[in-house]
């Protein structure tokens, strides 16, 4: 067990708890920087992890920290993506500025949703955001001059400071598409920036006000928090992050069509924050990694699993092996396997680990640091029967 000896108030204001935590994060960053060289085949998947990381942060700020659950975040992603493509490809706005503008446009949309949402709480708010997402998807369908409508819109590779990024590059004997590589690092930079900004908000009065609104609106109000202002702020900030993620997402998918930004995507984002663990930045990133890489794992399983299991069961006779292989092959090639697995995972997490992956990680850490005195009760939460719902 390690004890942290605090001698100055500044120690509670740092980005990291202590030097150890900072070094672990630095090590993680180093791994992320060399990752494209280690696993060049999966670079676009890793870009998606980073983009989903931004989305996770966005929804975490809103749902995990302010307690406003949104089922319409794919719409903000779409707004960001279309806005970025429109600004950069049709109006010729410089790339970085266009990404920033995408964030601004999405934030404006966030304020627009946030304002009527102020009068709603809980599940009603969720339904309102769902309705918003459906409306926006219809707008993507119909506003053909900007979005290209149902026929979609091709996205060109990013052009940074006038340097077009296409062709291949060979680094240390590994050949990579320059566009993919640039996108990966752009995503990484944007994700780190977003993490820094979100962490800054959370350690200053605004973040505290969000947490206060999440835990008790009435007490927050009595302490001087203007609910309307801070809820709108949370919506705008969350939407801005989503808009920037959308701009990067546009380059990742390469072709925008309205049906990408469906409710299913919004549900995936919600899955991300729940699986990761509501109320923690680590959780947002763990959840994003999980949700972005699960389809990759499923795809790999599709190709490899039947043969592999066939070989294992071939030990019981070649006929059994072939039969098992064929059965597994039929099962994994079922359409709709992916949403099914996602749904199953969500249910299992809510049942067995409501605190998400990050909560599980904290438990494992505490188990070893307290060994052999770990108590399961340390993380059990008392049910709050005392809270008055009357004054909501």
Partner 1 sequence: MTFFAAEALAIHFGGIRAVDGVSFAVEAGEVFTIIGPNGAGKTTIFNLVSRIYEPTEGRLVFCDEDITRVPPHQIARRGIARTFQNIELFEHASVLQNLLLGRHAHKRSGFFSELMFLPRVKRLELEHREAVEKVIDFLDLQPYRDTLIVNLPYGVRKVVELGRALCTEPKLLLLDEPSSGLNVEETGDMAFWIEDIRDLLGITVLMVEHDMSLVSAVSNRVLALNYGRPIATGTPREVQEHPDVIRAYLGG
Residues forming the site for partner 1 (CB under 8 A): 9-10, 12-13, 197, 200-201, 203-209, 211-212, 214-216, 218-227, 233, 279, 381-382, 384, 386-388, 391
Q: Which residues have CB under 8 Å from 246's CB, separation 6+?
A: 76, 77, 78, 79, 80, 81, 82, 83, 84, 102, 106
Q: How far apart are the first and last CA of the chain?
A: 42
Q: Which residues have CB under 8 Å from 157's CB, separation 6+?
A: 164, 165, 166, 179, 182, 183, 251
CB nearer to partner 1: pick between 65 and 82: 65
CB nearer to partner 1: pick between 133 and 281: 281
CB nearer to partner 1: pick between 166 and 387: 387
Q: How far is the CB of 367 from partner 1 (least distance, A)?
A: 17
Mapped onto helix, strand or coil, the DSSP state of residue 388 is: coil
Q: How far is the CB of 206 from partner 1 (least distance, A)?
A: 5
For residues 106 and 79, is the Cβ–Cβ distance under 8 A?
yes
CB nearer to partner 1: pick between 32 and 362: 362
For residues 357 and 276, is the Cβ–Cβ distance under 8 A?
yes
The CA radius of gyration of the chain, in Å to the nearest whole number, is: 23
Q: How far is the CB of 22 from partner 1 (least distance, A)?
A: 16
Q: How far is the CB of 205 from partner 1 (least distance, A)?
A: 5
CB nearer to partner 1: pick between 224 and 336: 224
Q: How far is the CB of 216 from partner 1 (least distance, A)?
A: 4
Which residue in 260, 288, 264 sits closest to 48, CA to CA?
A: 288
CB nearer to partner 1: pick between 16 and 316: 16
Across the strands, what pairs with 154? 255
Q: How far is the CB of 197 from partner 1 (least distance, A)?
A: 5
Q: What is the largest CA-CA distance in the chain?
A: 74
């Amino acid at each position: 067990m390690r004890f942290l000896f605090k001698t100055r108030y500044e120690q509670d204001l740092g980005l990291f708890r202590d030097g150890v935590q900072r070094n672990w994060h630095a090590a993680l960053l180093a791994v992320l920087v060399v990752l494209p060289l280690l696993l060049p085949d999966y670079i676009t998947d890793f870009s998606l992890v980073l983009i989903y990381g931004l989305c996770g942060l966005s929804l975490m700020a809103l749902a995990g920290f302010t307690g406003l659950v949104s089922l319409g975040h794919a719409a903000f992603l779409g707004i960001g993506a279309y806005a970025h493509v429109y600004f950069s490809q049709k109006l010729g706005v410089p790339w970085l500025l266009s990404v920033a503008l995408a964030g601004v446009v999405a934030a404006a949309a966030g304020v627009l949703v946030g304002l009527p949402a102020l009068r709603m709480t809980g599940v009603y708010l969720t339904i309102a955001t769902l309705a918003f997402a459906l409306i926006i998807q219809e707008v993507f369908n119909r506003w053909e001059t900007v979005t290209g409508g149902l026929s979609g819109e091709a996205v060109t590779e990013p052009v940074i400071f006038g340097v077009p990024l296409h062709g291949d590059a060979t680094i240390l004997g590994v050949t990579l598409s320059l566009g993919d590589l640039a996108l990966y690092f752009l995503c990484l930079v944007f994700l780190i920036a977003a993490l820094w900004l979100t962490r800054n908000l959370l350690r200053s009065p605004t973040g505290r006000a969000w947490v206060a609104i999440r835990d008790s609106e009435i007490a927050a109000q009595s302490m001087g928090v203007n609910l309307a202002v801070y809820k709108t702020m949370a919506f705008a900030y969350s939407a801005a992050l989503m808009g920037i993620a959308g701009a990067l997402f546009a380059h990742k998918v390469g072709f925008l069509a309205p049906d990408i930004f469906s409710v299913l995507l919004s549900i995936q984002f919600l899955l991300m924050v729940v699986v990761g663990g509501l109320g923690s930045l680590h959780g947002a990133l763990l959840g994003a990694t999980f949700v972005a890489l699960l389809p990759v794992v499923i795809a790999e399983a599709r190709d490899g699993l039947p043969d592999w299991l066939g070989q294992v069961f071939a030990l019981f006779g070649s006929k059994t092996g072939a039969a098992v292989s064929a059965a597994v092959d039929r099962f994994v090639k079922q359409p709709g396997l992916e949403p099914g697995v996602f749904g199953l995972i969500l249910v299992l997490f809510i049942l067995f680990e409501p605190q998400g992956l990050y909560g599980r990680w904290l438990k494992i850490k505490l188990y070893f640091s307290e060994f052999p005195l770990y108590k399961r009760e340390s993380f059990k939460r008392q049910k709050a029967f005392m809270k008055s719902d009357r004054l909501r």
